[in-house]
């Protein structure tokens, strides 16, 4: 039986960031920057006004002084004017400061004159002026590779004139549920023995939460030829494939027979509960041998599938997307209740974690820890993790908890 740590290490060793791609700014949001971004010039290139008002030479101003208004300057002016001694220029916020001017007097500190303007007080050099290079200087590293691109980062890139950025594209994840018993939720064709398909719907949301792009495909029946054909069709579009169900050792389940001969896929019993049966490896696509696609096969029970996703698939997706932080945050919490744990297995228990860094954290299992239910997982905000050597958890014992939400 393979340990959780060994299986996770094998998964992370087998995947890497998706190959970088230059994308338009609107497609870069949420992606990880693949290369450093360096300012090609100062930003702003010349001093600009921060306020609507009058551009002046500060040493020529005094309380109640009156200056002739020589010109109006608006943003986008082709080149800065030159300010004549003893004059001022009416200027809009964002417009380039005239040569010879070193301050802006706001409109509200004047009589708003158009030919001549009276100032209420003397100006101070540099007031209400954005100096050249105040946002970035030419040659400055403004965004490091590995940065997640959100609004703030896209703003500086756009302001510097970058219309495209090199990023690790969002991984495309194909989700495929397998089983003759499965019925699409909402269907009226629900006969005896039918089971509403929950895995791909849950994992679709989980994939998005991990920062990847899910693609749900139709439910696959327990037919070897049809499943192999469906996999071949999906490999071309996928960066990663997740198959749920069909992992039973019984003869009618097909996933093990279809995956076992493909690429480097291996099927293992992993020392964890729930979700001890796993398949993982890489298979080639029609795009060539260099285009190998990682594939996970998870058990069909929704709790087992979601726990396995959190432990193995989510870290792999985060690494593929270029993230440095691939794991969920975790806290140490004191157990409010006790429960038993199977020997030699790492146990993942749906739980609620409450508290704060100052007062400490408390963890309470939700439902039956020995047989976690879908409803229990729905009410949980964490997974309490019990080590392989522990046969039980005592009230007050410190338990490592994987935090699923804030």
CATH code of the domain in which 350 resides: 2.40.340.10
**Tell me, what DSSP letter sits at residue 170?**
P
Q: Is 30 left (phi over 0), alpha (psi -120 to 50) or beta?
A: left
Residue 136 is assigned to a structural domain of this protein: no
103 and 177 co-located in one domain: no
Question: For 403, phi and psi rounded to 5 degrees?
Answer: -85, 125
277 and 364 co-located in one domain: no
32 and 64 co-located in one domain: no
Rounded to whole angstroms, how far apart are CA atoms 350 and 330? Answer: 14
Nearest to 212 by CA among 174, 265, 164: 174
Q: What is the pLDDT of residue 284?
A: 78
State whether the Cα torsion 341-347-350-351 is positive or negative.
positive
Whether omega before 274 lies within 30 degrees of 0, making that bond cis, reads yes
Range of the domain at 125: 48-130
Task: Identify whether the C-beta of residue 213 lies closer than 8 Å to the C-beta of residue 224.
Answer: no
88 and 112 co-located in one domain: yes
392 and 348 co-located in one domain: yes
Q: What is the pLDDT of residue 345?
A: 96
71 and 101 co-located in one domain: yes
The residue behind tokens 């704060």 is 356
Residue 145 is assigned to a structural domain of this protein: no
Of 320, 346, 362, the residue at which a domain comes to its end is 320
Quickly list DSSP for 271-330: SEES--EEEEEEEEETTEEEEEEEEEEE-SSHHHHHHHIIIIIHHHHHHHTT-S--S--E
State whether the Cα torsion 21-22-23-28 is positive or negative.
positive
307 and 233 co-located in one domain: yes
Nearest to 130 by CA among 62, 75, 61: 75
Q: What is the pLDDT of residue 194?
A: 84
Residue 135 is assigned to a structural domain of this protein: no
300 and 272 co-located in one domain: yes
Q: What is the pLDDT of residue 389?
A: 94
CA 35 to chain centre: 17
Across the beta sheet with 21-24, the strand order is: 21-24, 164-168, 32-33
345 and 297 co-located in one domain: no
Q: What is the pLDDT of residue 273?
A: 96
Q: What is the pLDDT of residue 222?
A: 87
Q: What is the pLDDT of residue 274?
A: 95
Q: What is the pLDDT of residue 290?
A: 61
Tokens read off for 28 = 């870069």
Residue 215 is assigned to a structural domain of this protein: yes
Question: For 284, phi and psi rounded to 5 degrees?
Answer: -80, 155
110 and 74 co-located in one domain: yes
Q: What is the pLDDT of residue 186?
A: 86
What residue ranges of the chain have pLDDT lower than 50? 287
309 and 388 co-located in one domain: no
Residues in the chain: 406
200 and 217 co-located in one domain: yes
Rounded to whole angstroms, how far apart are CA atoms 139 and 136? Answer: 9
Question: How many domains does the chain fold into?
Answer: 4
Task: Identify whether the C-beta of residue 300 lies closer than 8 Å to the C-beta of residue 250.
Answer: no
Quickly list DSSP for 214-239: EEE-PPBPS-HHHHHHHHHHHHTT-S
Of 320, 346, 368, the residue at which a domain comes to its end is 320
Pairing of strands 240-244, 172-177: parallel
């Amino acid at each position: 039986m393979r340990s959780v740590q060994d299986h996770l290490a094998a998964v992370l060793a087998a995947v890497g960031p998706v190959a970088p791609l230059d994308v338009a700014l609107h497609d870069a949001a949420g992606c990880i920057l693949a290369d450093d971004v360096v300012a090609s010039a100062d930003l702003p290139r010349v001093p600009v006004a921060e306020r609507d008002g009058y551009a002046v030479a500060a040493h020529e101003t005094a309380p109640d002084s009156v200056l002739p208004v020589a010109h109006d300057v608006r943003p986008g002016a082709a080149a800065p004017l030159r300010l004549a001694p003893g004059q001022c220029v009416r200027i809009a916020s964002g417009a380039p400061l005239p040569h010879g001017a070193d301050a802006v007097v706001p409109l509200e500190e004047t009589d708003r004159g158009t030919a001549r303007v009276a100032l209420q007080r003397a100006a101070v050099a540099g007031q209400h002026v954005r100096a050249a290079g105040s946002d970035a200087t030419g040659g400055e590293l403004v965004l490091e590779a590995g940065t997640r691109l959100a609004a703030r980062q896209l703003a500086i890139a756009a302001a510097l004139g970058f219309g495209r950025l090199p990023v690790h594209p969002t991984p495309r994840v194909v989700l495929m549920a397998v089983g003759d018993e499965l019925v699409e939720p909402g269907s009226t064709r629900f006969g005896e023995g039918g089971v509403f398909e929950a895995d791909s719907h849950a994992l679709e949301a989980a994939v998005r939460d991990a920062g990847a792009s899910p693609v749900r495909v139709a439910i696959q029946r327990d037919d070897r030829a049809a499943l192999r054909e469906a996999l071949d069709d999906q490999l071309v579009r996928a960066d990663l494939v997740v198959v749920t169900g069909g992992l039973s050792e019984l003869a009618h389940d097909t996933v093990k027979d279809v995956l076992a001969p493909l690429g480097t896929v291996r099927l293992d019993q992993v020392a964890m509960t729930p979700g001890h049966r796993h398949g993982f490896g890489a298979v080639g696509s029609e795009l060539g041998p260099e285009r190998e696609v990682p594939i996970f096969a998870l058990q069909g029970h929704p709790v087992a599938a979601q726990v396995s996703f959190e432990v193995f698939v989510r870290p792999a997706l985060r690494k593929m997307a270029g993230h440095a932080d691939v794991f969920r945050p975790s806290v140490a919490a004191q157990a409010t209740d006790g429960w038993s744990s199977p020997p030699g297995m790492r146990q993942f228990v749906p739980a609620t974690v409450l508290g704060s860094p100052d007062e400490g954290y408390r963890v309470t299992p939700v439902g039956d820890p020995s047989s976690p239910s879908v409803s229990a997982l729905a009410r949980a905000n964490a997974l309490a993790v019990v080590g392989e050597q522990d046969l039980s958890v005592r009230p007050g014992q410190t338990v490592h908890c994987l935090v699923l939400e804030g």
